[in-house]
Amino acid sequence: MKKLLLLGISFLISLSFGLKAQEKVERWNRVEFVWNTSFKGNGYQDVEFKAIFIHSDTTLIIPGFFDGNQTFKLRFMPTRLGTWKYTTISNVPGLSKKTGTLECVTPSAQNHGPVKTNGLHFSYSDGKNYYPLGTTAYAWNHMGEALQSLTLNSLKNSGFNKIRMCVFPKNYDLVKEEPEHFPFVLKENKRDDKGNMIPVWDYSQFNPKFFQQLETHIEALQKIGMEADLILFHPYDKGRWGFDAMPQEINNKYIKYLLARISSFRNVWWSMANEWDYVKSKTVDDWDELTATLIKSDPYRHLCSIHGSTATYYDYWKPAFTHVSVQDESPAQSPNAAAMLRNVYHKPVILDEVGYEGNLKSRWGRYSPETLTHLIWNGIMGGAYVTHGESYMFEDHRDTIFWAKGGRFKGESWKRVGFLRQILEDGAGPLSLSDVSRDNVTSSSGKGQYLVYFGKQIQEFWTFNLPINNGAFGKLTTGTRFKVDIIDTYGMTIQTLPEIFETGKENDYRFYDKGYKKIRLPEKPYLALRIREIR
């Protein structure tokens, strides 16, 4: 409980931008209320300000926030169609008891709402399937404006629909840029024992410019269909700014302030940390506490996970985490390995770092485009999702390394991710292995809907055959007729075969074509077959 320190008589101006009384708001769009007031005291810590939004039996408590310059804001994302009533509550009389209504209307075509989990997969809030095919640019948002625009343009012209990015700036090999803005107001610069300049922050004062810039980026990402998988903490600071080692009380305040500002953005996801176990200042109990703070601060329950170093698995079964977001190559080594994680956690799995396509000396940053594309396919076939990243070393100071700074894609796998996304979106639904732990190449997205992926195996012929088991979609039967497309996952071609295949009798857990028809394959690796029932 913060003590209210209002000195003198405050004077409040109430403004409501983007919304007039009874104005219509699209479902899952954002409404912003703005009030200006002059008062003495610290708006970040001395003012309590929230609103209660009510829609029939739904009640949401939405925190407001101080945006500097005597301005208080409150942002709301209506989650249900129809009339919402609101009342504000504050320890500042002029911010209190503001009431009104707003009418939530059907969203426009490009607005599908926040992404939610849907069994072992994901969908938008309107039910449309969402297949996370993300990339990584940890600190693109802390580069100059020109580079930020370039990055947004690259993303717009890619097939990605998610980006992992850090709220705090990054101080790491290959990315040491000083950001334009910082989350707190600078108190002073000190010199440490070695003569290095160390900033001392006034933790009682956030810097709205820092957060406004982040909001601009989230908004820009939303416009191009990208989810912002925001990393709240990371270890890449190394004593430079100290954001990895703030007092726990400040960590909690930061989360509350950040979420008051941005949880109304429908395309945000929360990643508590990147490589949480490398943040040496925090224990597992600390992370659990911060995660609890986050969930309490999020009226919308956006997706939430946490990411560790290689093969370091947090206890993802804790109810706080909506999905698994793990750094590990092992689950991407085969579809069955990826499927294991789903079977273990009973939650959707994203392999948010299996290494990056690039040419670094570090082994995490030197996969061939073929290898990264292959790992992404392995994950997808196993019913999990694999995040892309690209780490081609910059050639000069005008050049960038996408993994850290964004910029232009230089690799090849990013294009294949777009190709894969199209295949998924043309399919009947998300994939799961048809015959888990027994058949490592066949996955299905529905009754009569298969993908077979051969990975690195090269073969001249393939005899048409499918397993009798088809996951949750029942069993295959005799006399089912199929068309087959040969997909070159790396060459990005799809060739539809003229023949029709028809299942004969069951033969040792599998069905072959009744005439044992075979398919001639190009003698290449990374081929897949799309097999679809003719109805």
Write the DSSP string, 400-429.
--HHHH-----SSHHHHHHHHHHHHHHSSS
Least distance from its own copies to the Cβ atom of residue 339, Å: 7
Closer residue to its own copies in complex, CB, 254/316: 316
Closer residue to its own copies in complex, CB, 4/311: 311
Least distance from its own copies to the Cβ atom of residue 319, Å: 12
Instruction: Answer yes or no whether residue 173 interacts with its own copies by CB under 8 A.
Output: no
Instruction: Answer yes or no whether residue 334 interacts with its own copies by CB under 8 A.
Output: yes
**Looking only at residues 481 through 510 of this chain, which bind its own copies when binding is defined by CB under 8 A?**
508-509
Instruction: Answer yes or no whether residue 213 interacts with its own copies by CB under 8 A.
Output: no
Among 341, 350, 466, 486, binds its own copies (CB under 8 A): 341
Instruction: Let me know: does 165 contact 192? Beta carbons within 8 Å.
Output: no
Closer residue to its own copies in complex, CB, 11/509: 509
Among 129, 281, 312, 359, binds its own copies (CB under 8 A): 312
Reported as type and span, the H/E element at residue 13 is strand 11-15
Instruction: Let me know: does 18 contact 31? Beta carbons within 8 Å.
Output: yes
Instruction: Answer yes or no whether residue 337 interacts with its own copies by CB under 8 A.
Output: yes
End-to-end distance of the chain based on CA atoms, in angstroms? 64
Instruction: Let me know: does 349 contact 327? Beta carbons within 8 Å.
Output: no
Rounded CA-CA distance 56/306 in Å is 34
Instruction: Answer yes or no whether residue 350 interacts with its own copies by CB under 8 A.
Output: no
| Residue 471: CB atoms within 10 Å | 19
Show the binding pattern over residues 250-289: x = contacts its own copies (CB under 8 A), - = does not: ----------------------------------------
What SS3 state is found at 250?
A: helix
Least distance from its own copies to the Cβ atom of residue 329, Å: 5
Among 228, 246, 340, 528, binds its own copies (CB under 8 A): 340
Among 14, 330, 359, 368, binds its own copies (CB under 8 A): 330
Rounded CA-CA distance 24/106 in Å is 10
Closer residue to its own copies in complex, CB, 366/518: 366
- From the list 17-25, 38-46, 338-346, 371-379, the region that binds its own copies by CB under 8 A is 338-346
Among 14, 310, 359, 368, binds its own copies (CB under 8 A): 310
HEC assignment per residue over 204-215: EEECHHHHHHHH
Instruction: Answer yes or no whether residue 357 interacts with its own copies by CB under 8 A.
Output: no
Instruction: Let me know: does 82 contact 37? Beta carbons within 8 Å.
Output: no
Least distance from its own copies to the Cβ atom of residue 118, Å: 20
Residues in contact with 78: Cβ distance below 8 Å, sequence separation at least 6, in sequence order: 25, 27, 28, 29, 31, 53, 55, 84, 102, 104
Closer residue to its own copies in complex, CB, 237/328: 328
Instruction: Let me know: does 393 contact 405? Beta carbons within 8 Å.
Output: no
**Phi, psi values for residue 377, rounded to 5°:** -65, -40
* Residue 105 DSSP label: E
Among 38, 42, 437, 507, binds its own copies (CB under 8 A): 437
Instruction: Answer yes or no whether residue 456 interacts with its own copies by CB under 8 A.
Output: no
Question: Helices 208-223 and 248-262 sit at what angle, rounded to 10 degrees?
Answer: 50
Q: What angle do CA 151, 31, 253 make, to 5 degrees?
A: 75
Closer residue to its own copies in complex, CB, 137/349: 349
Among 363, 398, 505, 535, binds its own copies (CB under 8 A): 363
- From the list 95-103, 188-196, 217-225, 435-443, the region that binds its own copies by CB under 8 A is 435-443
Least distance from its own copies to the Cβ atom of residue 345, Å: 8
Instruction: Answer yes or no whether residue 11 interacts with its own copies by CB under 8 A.
Output: no
Rounded CA-CA distance 256/329 in Å is 34
- From the list 106-114, 168-176, 292-300, 313-321, the region that binds its own copies by CB under 8 A is 313-321
Residues in contact with 56: Cβ distance below 8 Å, sequence separation at least 6, in sequence order: 80, 82
Instruction: Answer yes or no whether residue 328 interacts with its own copies by CB under 8 A.
Output: yes
Least distance from its own copies to the Cβ atom of residue 383, Å: 12
With b for 16 or more beta-carbon neighbours within 10 A and e for fewer, the 301-328 pattern comes to ebbbbbbbeeeeebebeeebbbbbbbbb
Closer residue to its own copies in complex, CB, 72/345: 345
Nearest CA-CA partner of 464 in 408, 412, 520, 423: 520
Instruction: Answer yes or no whether residue 315 interacts with its own copies by CB under 8 A.
Output: yes
Q: Which residues bind its own copies (CB under 8 A)?
A: 310-313, 315, 317, 328-331, 333-334, 336-337, 339-341, 343-346, 361, 363, 436-438, 440, 508-509
